[in-house]
Amino acid sequence: MVKRTIRWIKSWSMAMKHFLFLFTGTSVLFALLAWNNLHDAEQLFRKQVLSDAQVIIDRTNLYLNAYLDNVQNILLLLSTRDDLLDEAHEEEAIQALRQYAEKNSTLYKTLYLIRADGKVMSNTQVYLDIIGNPHLEKLYAQASKSYGVMISEPYDSPLSGKTVAFLLPITSKYGGEMKGMAVIEIDLVKLTNMLAQFMNSKNQTFTIITNKNNVVNTYDSSWPLFYYTLLPYNTTLFPPELKNDFVAKIGDLPIGVTQIDGAKDKLIAVKSGMNRLGWYFIAFIEDSFFYQNLIILYNNYKTAAVVWILILCISTFMMSRYVTYPVRKLVAKMDRVHDMEVLPSISVPGEDEIGKLAKSYNAMMERIHHLLTETKEMEQRKKQYELKMLQSQIAPHFLYNTLACISSLAKQRKIEEVRETIRSLVGLLSFSFDKSHEFVSLEEELEGLRMYAHIQTVRYGNKFTLDMDVDPGTLSIRMLKLTLQPLVENSIFHGIAPQKSVGHIRVRTLLRRGNLIIYIRDNGVGMDMKQLEGVFTERRKAPSKHRFTGIGIMNVQERIQLHYGEKYGLRIASIPHTGTLIQIKLPAHVHEEKDIRNN
């Protein structure tokens, strides 16, 4: 079985053997790296998460507990001044609240003293009298049932924005009866910014929620660019708030470290226990953040890179010696294939794949040379026979109708008209059947067009007029014979003949950027988009009995592009009931004539 396997492997091609070598080496190398990296990453990941989580929880809880102590101290100080709730000391109470607020402006937003009769005094009394605070009545009712400091759920205050209120009932020093309430609305923005100083980088953020899953506040350094936040926000609100389903999810998280889906990537959520404020502090860290300091993994990659480079060097040498050199030789020969008149041959010894490829290449080049020779001959014959075929397509109906018109003129004894018509017909037939030249000057092409227009005028009377605006500098330019006549013929029979009014056809020539531009405009019935799209298919239609030749617009287009290239040819624009404009673009140089021989 083993010997049979070895013989089977030996029968493989060189490419398969080389692939097997590289694949096996790469697989073994990366398998070892993967096992080593996973082991190191797991240890470092756990250590980093636990370390960061412990630091964040300790710092934030210490700060929040200290913050609570400060708030309680202010409330206790206010509770000792029950005299401030007397009506006679109302101004003194407002002044005292202002002093407390100024000394603690980094902690508190608004301070209130609420009397039992509902009178409210504040450090911002003017704003309170104008705007009011509808939440105070509800807070007073809730706090009156407690005996110590009460912390409200987050709410939007007209004076403090989004805030949390701390409340403490104030009783009389002597009778013990409740005289009112001290209320402090804290500045959640400043509190959040202070807590943000404990975070390590921009890859981290946090949120604070109450034990009822209400968001106290959330810090995110990407504000206002919420496209780059770590947490999912509802951006239809202003300011944007965390999505409700995400808040419910983090509220159900257990205390400690948990992985959770963020706005875009995985996050590590570190949730602290409930502090003295009744809040949970939850820090979020990008999962990728923990891999930024994994230096051990980088060292492993460096070692792997060195080993891999050595393997590649050895493989490259082997490939260059046994595989690449013959291939490069073959490519060099193939790159020299520019002139098929000279066939480069390759001589590669050996019967392996490279040798067989060289032999196949030599056979292929001989076949290509033979096919190219045949193609050139066929192309030359095609160009020579094309014009002959087109010139031979003189429609018999055209001759019949023209001769009938001459006969009618003769019966009417209009000798001069008969003479001019015969002269035009003879000239047109001579121009068309002249097989010695495929190219004519623009002047000759226009003369043939005039003779054709004269014959049509004799047949149809004053149905149309033909005007020519010719740049004298264009008359000597050589062009393909029978280029303009089919287009004018098309304007007469498809544009002007169907309408009742007299039609006008104008031919204009000019030079532009080394090109000969010819415009043919008529005021005929025009075409809609569907008809315009089908113009270049008219070659497939049966020729009209009124046509001089079977040459259509598509045939003119193909002849131009066959001789001059794809960038030359026709462009057509048309508007129904207005007319049609044809632009012909040709190279403005004297074309070298080619004799058309009768083979």
Average pLDDT value for the chain: 79
Letter for the amino acid at 79? S
pLDDT interval class at 503 (50, 70, 90): very high
Q: Is the fold of 80-185 the same as that of 191-291? A: no
Distance, CA of 502 to CA of 497 (rounded, Å): 9
* Phi/psi at 373 (5° precision): -60, -45
Cβ–Cβ under 8 Å, residues 202 and 226? no
**What distance lies between CA 22 and its chain's CA centroid?**
38
Other C-beta atoms closer than 10 Å to the C-beta of 554 total 17
Is the model's pLDDT at 300 over the cut of 70?
yes
Q: CATH fold of 80-185, please?
A: Beta-Lactamase (3.30.450)
Cut 0.75: pTM above it: no
pLDDT per position as a tens digit, 353-378: 667 777 787 788 778 878 888 887 77
Domains of the chain, by residue range, sit at 80-185, 191-291, 310-384, 392-587
Res 597: pLDDT: 37
**What distance lies between CA 118 and its chain's CA centroid?**
63
Determine the average pLDDT of the residues in 37-58. 71
Res 592: pLDDT: 44
Answer left, alpha or beta for residue 569, where phi above 0 means left and psi between -120 and 50 means alpha: left
List the beta bridge partners of residue 243.
none
Is the model's pLDDT at 518 over the cut of 90?
yes
Q: Looking at the domain that runs over 392-587, which CATH code has it been given? A: 3.30.565.10
Distance, CA of 49 to CA of 287 (rounded, Å): 10
pLDDT per position as a tens digit, 542-572: 455 555 555 678 878 888 888 888 899 999 9
Rounded-to-5 percentages of helix, strand, coil across the chain: 50, 20, 30
Let me know how long the chain is: 599
Helix (H) / strand (E) element for 470: namely none
Determine the average pLDDT of the residues in 394-406. 68
Q: Which of 10-24, 67-81, 184-198, 513-527 has the lowest mean pLDDT?
A: 10-24
Determine the average pLDDT of the residues in 422-449. 81
Q: Which residues neighbour 187 within 8 Å (Cβ) at sequence distance 6 or greater?
A: 106, 107, 108, 109, 160, 163
CATH class of 191-291: alpha beta
Res 540: pLDDT: 47
Res 389: pLDDT: 57
pLDDT interval class at 598 (50, 70, 90): very low
**CA 7 to each of CA 2, 4, 13, 350: distance values in angstroms, whole numbers, following the listed order:** 9, 5, 12, 21
